[in-house]
Amino acid sequence: MISEADAQDLLESKDLIAIGMRADEVRRRLRGPQTTFVRVFEIHVDAAAASVPARTSAGEFRLVGSPRSLDAAAAVVRTARSLAGAIPLTGFSLADLVALEGSSSFDHTLRVLRDEGLEEIAEVPLDSLDQASSAITSARTAGLAVRRLTVNVQPGDRVALARRARDLQNELGGFHAFAPLPRTIAVASPTTGYDDVKQVALARLVADNIPSVQVDWQLYGPKLAQFALTIGADDVDAVAAVDPGILGTRRSPLEEIRGNIRSAGLEPIERNARFEAIG
């Protein structure tokens, strides 16, 4: 891990190329040229799909959105489980489940969702969980995997959350990826591409005990995702699982992500939600 002084110097530096080169060195030390990606079929908690569209190929079924109650959460898990079949089913933000009303306890909520077929918590927003360690431990004790650390909104201190991710890995272990870019993009004060890629690089340098730094294909787009892969990121989340089939095989979501990774000089490997290679 870089020192506090080095992290602050990098945060203040305008030399993105130098920062990116340092982050890429760490990335290649940990993963070499391997770059993983996952195709995700999303199901919103307020509009559960009745069936899976044709031409769907996913490594993960993911429930998105905040459930209104435990009963609503359990119902959508039950529906999604029947649709997903053998494909891993993930869902929910751990912060949303902590705040969920209408259940006797947080532990009870977690057990109910596990019993209905949920395999993994999809998001652990470090900026929205005051007691992240205990919440993660409760989820794992209930039988739910917790593999990914996330950020909800743009952090004031870009280094602090990466440091928190590193500390949680040291304390609890078991995290496969850290997604340092915010899930919610502020309309009033949006980040710039410069800010985003710098944050990816800093995350890779600070949280060097977490195997992967992740970027979201759907939220941030192919161009930023591809550049992020050259300055520390090595995993791409939320690649489309449904191929409309209107652009031909060479323009399918699968070939587009593979092509983008190869164009960055890297080796694409498709994975599932368990971070197991599937293609």
For residues 257 and 39, what is the distance between their CA atoms, to the nearest angstrom?
10
Residue 9 maps to a domain: yes
How many domains is the chain built from? 1
Residue 198 maps to a domain: yes
CA distances in angstroms from 180 to 71, 127, 162, 202, 255, listed in the order given:
31, 11, 7, 9, 26
Residue 174 maps to a domain: yes
Neighbour tally for 117: CB within 10 Å:
16
Residue 28 maps to a domain: yes
The boundaries of the domain holding residue 22 are 1-34+147-234+247-264
Residue 164 maps to a domain: yes
- Report pLDDT digits (tens) over 181-215: 998 876 666 677 788 989 999 999 999 999 999 99
Tell whether pTM > 0.75.
Answer: yes
Residue 51 maps to a domain: no
Residue 3 maps to a domain: yes
Residue 269 maps to a domain: no
- Report pLDDT digits (tens) over 16-54: 888 899 999 999 999 999 999 999 999 999 987 889 988
